[in-house]
Amino acid sequence: MKTRLCIVAVVLWVVTLIGAGWFFVNGWTAKGIDGRMEILLAPNERDLILGEMRQLLKAVHGVVTGVAGQDQPADRQRIEQAARAAGMGMAVDVNPAIMVKLPLPFKQMGMSIHKDMDALADAIAQKETSQQILQRLSSMTARCTTCHDLYRFGVDK
């Protein structure tokens, strides 16, 4: 009897791991009507993710505005702060329940943007040229547009 119970427990454990792995990779998604993958979230989860995206866009705007400024040396600290505000520190408090609903490529792109915002802030502090800063930013925004081309948010009912 104990052997059967152990076998059942191991089988359930394996099935649970497989299921969790599948959700970690695929997230909670459906095919969208416009051909993009629709990530299904509760309304408050959707608002949270969209709010984070707006913060990222504001950080990009802060960097571009600072780089375009006339007094760039004086603005460097403000430009660095704008980039750092969207770095990994911004991603620390993400709810694990939301992360499980996001497909792996979406999570990877998002985390790479946060890491690159920290690297951009470091580059600004190390006095990279405006051209170098804009090249870094261009690489990041290319991933943003790719992500927006691939995914959309839907409401989980």
Range of the domain at 22: 2-155
Residue 139: CATH number of its domain: 1.20.120
Domain count of the fold of the chain? 1
pLDDT, average across residues 95-119: 92
Is residue 22 a contact partner of residue 134, using CB atoms and an 8 Å limit? no
Residues in the chain: 157
Supply the pLDDT for residue 23.
64
Cα–Cα distance for residue pair 128/118, rounded to 1 Å:
14
The pTM of the full predicted model, rounded to 2 decimals, is: 0.82
Interval 31-60: pLDDT, tens: 999 999 999 999 999 999 999 999 999 999
pLDDT, average across residues 125-150: 94
CB atoms within 10 A of CB 153: 18
Cα–Cα distance for residue pair 49/107, rounded to 1 Å:
11
| 3-class DSSP string for 92-153 | CCCCHHHHHHCCHHHHHHHHHHHHHHHHHHHHHHCCCCHHHHHHHHHHHHHHHHHHHHHEEE
